[in-house]
Amino acid sequence: MTELDLKIKDEFPVLKNRNIVYLDNAATSQKPKSVIDAVKRYYEYDNANPMRGLYELSIDATKDYEKARQTVADFIHAKKKEEIVFTRNATESLNLIAYSYGMHFLRNGDEIIISIMEHHSNLLPWQIVAKNTGAVVKYLECNEEGEIFPEQLEKMMTKRTRMVCLTQISNLFGRENDIKAFAEVAHRHGAVFVCDGAQSVPHIPVDVQDLDVDFLAFSGHKMYGPMGIGALYGKEELLEQMPPFLYGGEMIEYVTRCGATYAQVPHKFEAGTVNAGGAVGLAEAISFINSYGFDIITQREDELTKLAFTEMQSIPHVEIIGSKDYKEHHGIITFVVEGVHPHDVATIFDAHHVAVRAGHHCVQPLHTHLHKMSTTRMSLGFYNNEEDVTAFLEVLKGLRKEMGYGE
Amino acid sequence: MANNTFYNEILTEHNIHPTHKHEIEGANFTLEGVNPSCGDDIILSLKVEDDVITDGAYVGDGCAVSQASADMMLDLVIGRTKEEALRLSDIFLRMIKGEITEEEHEELEEAGILQDVSHMPARVKCAVLGWHTMEEMLREGKTGITGTEGF
């Protein structure tokens, strides 16, 4: 291991406390000590109910929470912190758009375009919106390499297309979609563009103003932050038009016996006591990412992807899903082993202390599209190193033999 | 690499070269069992004459655990009465919960190798699929193929 490998790995207690090669980063990342400590510090020194109390402790809690909002806004280059709504995760962020924007502004016969590679969380909310409003969900189909093209979207756009919702990086293919180009097409036809950034925000620099997306959803837990905190970016003018998603405490101005007026954005979307500890943890995770920088993060992830990918291509009976070019994978390599069910694949990896994910990865329609029942996925984080990849490859090479195939 | 997983020779042999994975003639019970979350899918057929299971087979897709478990189950129950089959099924399901005696374990013959599944919560559904399907058939007289796509 290089000095940098050791330094990075040293920051993650779980990787020291458990004998494991962790390759399920697309599901959730491990947490650095600095993040764990920041959450602990919040609860040990600053905890009170933010935005309510008129005493110093609550004011400090509010400061922490709003400072975290600014950190998130800066990280994705939002114009101002009011464009960041804290949620539980990307799923909740996407549901917020669906329930607040979709349910209220879509009409019978309107169209929502999503891609076939969307995670269920950027698919099911739109099916529900369609069911409730009479709108129609149309699918942008990808090819076997996992590609979709802005020209395809251009052809699908009609006067009734109101929303286009796409993932920036597919959780199965690892491929990056050209979000800026897709958003441009959507906008030219008067549609709102929603970007699912759950797999991209942790791994590549994302600039919402440059991409010109109307909404961006992402989770803290996939980017070294705690579970239970995520964010929704929305352009201020859109957020202002939208009705609240959840109703309750601290999202109102005035409440009477028969109604209420609501707080300004983003607070009108943050009903109830917020997850201030989580927000502080997410801000610390962003500091952690920034302390290395995306140059180092992407370089490490690309190098490890290349190493794993090149070797995997030469292992008999292993089929890699998606692009034949490692550069298109962003640390995500999904594969099948001929004759071995993915659940057995994952169980054998587990017996060798390598954590990979097996199943449909919350993209069942994509598996149907690819004529696969299920697959196995290894996904890298920048704290992984060559030894992790070597351990993974060793198990993969011997896997069919362990399953009784004589070779 | 040493094989230190629970995929021993008995299990992999039943998976790769199953004895009972085929269609049979004259079955009077046929029932599909599915684990939607992982896609395991078997169609179990039994021929029961005068309360004795005279023949049985299955077809399907799924992981090695689900397929081999069904194969070993059929090895065990063909030639036995319905009552005996249900008693063995009860032992198998209790084995997965970690609640059987050594004598009971022996009665399961090769199927006993799946005992370790009791420590693998994610694989319990795979191991019990065939057994549950057989129980539903014999206990409740259930038959039918759901016709799911298997996704």
Tokens for A381? 């984080």
The verdict on A390 touching B (C-beta cutoff 8 Å) is no
pLDDT (0 to 100) of residue A132: 97
pLDDT (0 to 100) of residue A246: 92
Residue from the list B5, B9, B38 with its beta carbon closest to the beta carbon of A351: B5
DSSP string over B59-116: EEE--HHHHHHHHHHHHHHTTSBHHHHHHHHHHHHHHHTT---HHHHHHTGGGGGGGG
pLDDT at A111 over 70: yes
Is there a contact between A351 and B126 if contact means CB atoms under 8 Å apart?
Answer: no
pLDDT (0 to 100) of residue B4: 56
Of the candidates A331, A402, A345, the residue with the CA atom closest to the CA atom of residue A373: A345
Average pLDDT, chain A: 96
Is there a contact between B7 and A403 if contact means CB atoms under 8 Å apart?
Answer: yes
pLDDT at A331 over 60: yes
Question: How far is A170 from A174, CA to CA, in rounded Å?
Answer: 5
Tens of pLDDT along A58-104?
999 999 999 999 999 999 999 999 999 999 999 999 999 999 999 99
Question: How far is A348 from B7, CA to CA, in rounded Å?
Answer: 8
The residue-averaged pLDDT of A345-373 equals: 93
Is there a contact between B1 and A398 if contact means CB atoms under 8 Å apart?
Answer: yes
Confidence of residue A406 (pLDDT cuts 50, 70, 90): confident
Topology of the domain covering A3-23+293-402: Aspartate Aminotransferase, domain 1 (3.90.1150)
Of the candidates A173, A208, A174, A210, the residue with the CA atom closest to the CA atom of residue A194: A208
Is there a contact between B150 and A373 if contact means CB atoms under 8 Å apart?
Answer: yes
Tens of pLDDT along B104-129?
999 999 999 999 999 888 899 999 99
pLDDT at B89 over 90: yes
Chain B closest CA to A401's CA: distance in Å? 9
Confidence of residue A251 (pLDDT cuts 50, 70, 90): confident
A355 contact residues in B (CB cutoff 8 A): none
Tens of pLDDT along A36-70?
999 999 999 999 999 888 899 999 999 999 999 99
User: Sign (positive/negative) of CA torsion A133, A136, A142, A144?
Assistant: positive
In this structure, which amino acid lies at residue A196? D
Of the candidates B129, B115, B118, B120, the residue with the CA atom closest to the CA atom of residue B39: B129
Question: How far is A69 from A57, CA to CA, in rounded Å?
Answer: 19
Predicted TM-score (pTM) of the model is 0.93
pLDDT at A114 over 50: yes
A361 contact residues in B (CB cutoff 8 A): none
The verdict on A405 touching B (C-beta cutoff 8 Å) is yes
3-state class percentages of chain B: helix first, strand second, coil last, to nearest 5? 50, 20, 30
Domain ranges of chain A: 3-23+293-402, 35-289
Q: Which residues, including other chains, have CB under 8 Å from residue A391's CB and lie 6 or more apart?
A: A21, A352, A353, A354
pLDDT (0 to 100) of residue B38: 75
A364 contact residues in B (CB cutoff 8 A): 151
The verdict on B69 touching A (C-beta cutoff 8 Å) is no
- What domains are there in chain B, each with its CATH number? 9-140 (3.90.1010.10)
Question: How far is B58 from A125, CA to CA, in rounded Å?
Answer: 38
Q: Find the residue in A nearest to B63 (Cα).
A: A341
**A362 a catalytic residue:** yes
Question: How far is A219 from A119, CA to CA, in rounded Å?
Answer: 13
User: Sign (positive/negative) of CA torsion A183, A186, A188, A190?
Assistant: negative
A238 in Cβ contact with A248 (< 8 Å): no
Chain B closest CA to A71's CA: distance in Å? 38
Chain B closest CA to A68's CA: distance in Å? 37
The verdict on B10 touching A (C-beta cutoff 8 Å) is no
Confidence of residue B66 (pLDDT cuts 50, 70, 90): very high
Q: State the first-to-last Cα distance of chain B, in angstroms, to the nearest integer.
A: 34
A252 in Cβ contact with A278 (< 8 Å): no
Average pLDDT, chain B: 90
Q: Which CATH number fits domain A35-289: 3.30.470.10, 3.40.640.10, 3.10.20.30, 3.90.550.10?
A: 3.40.640.10
Question: How far is A193 from A214, CA to CA, in rounded Å?
Answer: 5
Chain B closest CA to A398's CA: distance in Å? 7
Backbone angles phi, psi at A32, to 5 degrees: -70, 160
Cis peptide upstream of residue A342 (ω within 30 degrees of 0) = no
Q: Which of residues 118-137 of B touch A (CB under 8 A)?
A: 120, 122-123, 126
The lowest-confidence range among A349-358, A359-368, A376-385 is A359-368
A98 in Cβ contact with A126 (< 8 Å): yes
